Structure 1
């Protein structure tokens, strides 16, 4: 089982906008309001499931 400290270190290391450039989650940073972020995340993840390259080129 992974320790809390290990997971916290991973979170702090990778929870940065610079790490999402190749991921559909990058589109969530365009919005400020939580409902907008949730909707964008749902749409991006639904469209990108298994096809990250395709969604990045079409959005």
Structure 2
């Protein structure tokens, strides 16, 4: 189910590569967050997301 959800999310936000990394914390995923920011589906408790939001250094 998660993989299917990631495939659908990838159609809406291909710049993040969800179809490839399936939401797992890969280098490419971190780089996409840094480059494109975060979207609603990103977990706000995830350290790289907090960093992208400027909540931590």
Same fold (TM over 0.5): no
Give the alignment's TM-score, normalised by structure 2.
0.36
| Structure ranking higher in helix proportion | 1
Give the alignment's TM-score, normalised by structure 1.
0.35
Could you say which structure has the larger radius of gyration?
A: 1
